[in-house]
Each structure stands twice: as C-alpha cells, then as structure tokens.
Amino acid sequence: MAANRNILRRWFSELWTKGRLGIIDELVAPDCIIHGLMDEHGAQMKGPGPMKEFYHAIREQFGKLRIDVEENLVDKGRVVARCLVRGTDAKTGKPVQFGGVAIVRTRRGKIVEGWNYFDFHHMAQQIASGRPALPSRSKPRRRSA
C-alpha cells in the first residue's frame, strides 16, 4: 500500500516537475483509461502513448512547470491528490497558478484508470490577464478534536 500511497506524488514530481518521461511507461498500464483528458480526435485517452503526446503538448505550452501534491488520500486501490500547478506560459511569459484533483485506480503498482479535474479555464484566464489568482501554496486546515 505504501507504493500506491506515493504513486501520484511520484507521477507529478518525476514527470511534470522534473521532466522524466520514462515514468509514464513505468507507472501507466498499457490498458489504462484516462478520463478528463482527450486526444486530438476528442476520444478519451487510453494507455501510455496518448499520455506522452499530452505531456509534450503541455511542455510546449509551459517551459517551466511545477505540480505539488498538497493533499493525498488513499482508499481501497484508489489514490486522490489535490494539486497546485505553477508554471510560466512559454508564448507570453506570464505566470499561472491553478488547482486540480487527480484520482487514480491502481493495480500491481500501475495506474489502470485515472480521472483528472484541473482548472484549465482558470489557467487560460490568467494567461489572458497575466495575473495569477491563487495563493502560492495553500495548506489544508487542521480539524480540532
């Protein structure tokens, strides 16, 4: 279970922040279904190949990119990560910050299904206006007992 607990931290840190493309083949199952991300034909992404194409498209748009997992939850083969994305738009040089949530279902240490809910609309608004609208780092509130 410890490996699954850190699977999304590894995914965002190694792929998106460090640019280690090989992590896609390491962590994404060949039959993985990726909800919330479409290929160039409008079809749901499936497997490592389309994920690599998506990665290259995002990297082309954002030379500098960092995705931090702010909160991580694990339950019965599913991992949920609340993320903060920070980057710089390559065309305009404008900084962006936006949030998102990723949910994955894992099997034998691989992602077999994923759901992505990132605020790309908010990202586009920031590129147009040039003003990031999120705090640099949000912290979850602690509940008192």
Provide the CATH topology of domain 2-129. Answer: Nuclear Transport Factor 2; Chain: A, (3.10.450)
What pLDDT shows up at residue 69? 96
Given a cut of 70, is residue 128 above it in pLDDT?
Answer: yes
Cα 12 from Cα 58, distance rounded (Å): 13
Given a cut of 80, is residue 48 above it in pLDDT?
Answer: yes
- Least Cα distance to 58 among 132, 123, 7 occurs for 123
What pLDDT shows up at residue 123? 82
Rounded alpha-carbon distances, angstroms, from residue 113 to 24, 41, 70, 73, 90 = 13, 20, 21, 16, 30
- The mean per-residue pLDDT over the stretch 79-98 comes to 91
Beta bridge partners of 58: none
Q: Residue ranges of the domains in the chain?
A: 2-129
Counting residues of the chain whose pLDDT is more than 90, the rounded percentage is 53
Lowest mean pLDDT among 43-47, 68-72, 122-126, 133-137: 133-137
φ and ψ of 12, to 5 deg: -70, -40
